[in-house]
Amino acid sequence: MKRDEIEFVAEVARAAAGLSIDGEPPYVLETRLGPVARREGFGSIREMLVAARQRREEKLLWAVVEALAVGETSFFRGMAVFRRLAEEMLPAAAATGRAGRPLRVLSAGCGSGQETYSIAMAVDEWGPAELGPRLELTGADLSHRALEKARSGLYTQFEVQRGLPIRSLLRHFEKREEMWAVGGRLKATTRWRRQNLLGDLKPLGRFDVVFCRHVLDGMDPAARERALAQLIGVLGEGGHLVLGEDEAAAGTAGALQRLGDGVYRRRGGARAAA
């Protein structure tokens, strides 16, 4: 890819989703955009970008953004935090508010759903038994293609061997020809929403726990700040925000208490302090 093409792609990604592709080597961009060009019927990335630039065609531009937004993913990435969710964060939330109310968890930037299903499995395997039926799980991502896969709950043999314990595979998946399918019980706890983190998250409602791991670090600073504010905005008082182990919620000390390993708790308002 030529410099002007990279600049064009960078600008599109930043404007649409706050993504920063600074420092990505051209071959990485080519690996991601090549399949999009082929799928959309172009002979090369260059041809696709010329068309996208001239026509400013929304669908094509989004296909580019989606391809750039795809991150690395696996089941139970950073296993310890899933245990903390099931053994500490959700039990703490369960003790607050109306008895028996739903416990709402958001998996923001869920990609193809591995994180979201890992949350459901963690609650089932490690959480107190009464929590499972109260879990209301939302997976949100801006990529239509990723969400389609997440919703299908179908994973390849390679995918189910990254991070997923074999006992969890046995317990929660069914074999369907060459693929592995998430079981109906797990799928029933989960709903999926197409959502740009730069957009308004309020319609999703309030959450007890928000997972947003290894998503913000791919954004430019202004977008990261805006997305963080949105995520905090949908967090109930005392709710937990879970970022990647090495990600920091910069500039949010007033709103969030840092608990370590990427986990933050939303401070109570004046009412809670009184």
Partner 1 sequence: MRTCLVVDDSRVIRKVARRIVEDMGFEVTEAGDGLEALAACRAGMPDAILLDWNMPAMDGVEFLRLLRREPGGERPRVIFCTVETGLDHIRTALDSGAAEYIMKPFDSDIVQSKFALAELL
Residues at the contact surface with partner 1, assessed by CB under 8 A: 74, 157-158, 161-163, 165-167, 169-170, 175
Q: Which two tokens stand for residue 97?
A: 């508010």
By DSSP bridging, strand 190-194 and strand 135-141 are: parallel
Sign of the C-alpha dihedral, residues 199, 104, 67, 228? positive
Q: Rounded to the nearest whole angstrom, what is the least distance from the CB of residue 160 to partner 1 in the complex? A: 8
The nearer residue to partner 1, 161 or 196, going by C-beta atoms, is 161
Q: Rounded to the nearest whole angstrom, what is the least distance from the CB of residue 255 to partner 1 in the complex? A: 34
Q: Rounded to the nearest whole angstrom, what is the least distance from the CB of residue 69 to partner 1 in the complex? A: 22
DSSP-derived 3-state class of residue 233: helix
Distance, CA of 236 to CA of 250 (rounded, Å): 20
With CA atoms as reference, report the closest residue to 1 among 44, 61, 54, 57. Answer: 44
Separation in Å, CA 61 to CA 13, 17, 149, 243 = 9, 11, 20, 28
The nearer residue to partner 1, 70 or 259, going by C-beta atoms, is 70
Separation in Å, CA 32 to CA 26, 39, 47 = 10, 12, 15
The nearer residue to partner 1, 22 or 178, going by C-beta atoms, is 178
Q: Rounded to the nearest whole angstrom, what is the least distance from the CB of residue 248 to partner 1 in the complex? A: 25
Q: Which residues pair with 265 in a beta bridge?
A: 240, 257
Q: Rounded to the nearest whole angstrom, what is the least distance from the CB of residue 79 to partner 1 in the complex? A: 8
Q: Rounded to the nearest whole angstrom, what is the least distance from the CB of residue 78 to partner 1 in the complex? A: 11
The nearer residue to partner 1, 22 or 72, going by C-beta atoms, is 72
The nearer residue to partner 1, 31 or 157, going by C-beta atoms, is 157
The nearer residue to partner 1, 96 or 157, going by C-beta atoms, is 157
The nearer residue to partner 1, 55 or 175, going by C-beta atoms, is 175
Q: How many CB atoms lie within 10 A of CB 80?
A: 11
Listing DSSP states for 108-130 in one string gives ET-TTSHHHHHHHHHHHHHS-TT
Q: Rounded to the nearest whole angstrom, what is the least distance from the CB of residue 173 to partner 1 in the complex? A: 9
Whether the CB-CB separation of 158 and 222 falls below 8 Å is answered with no
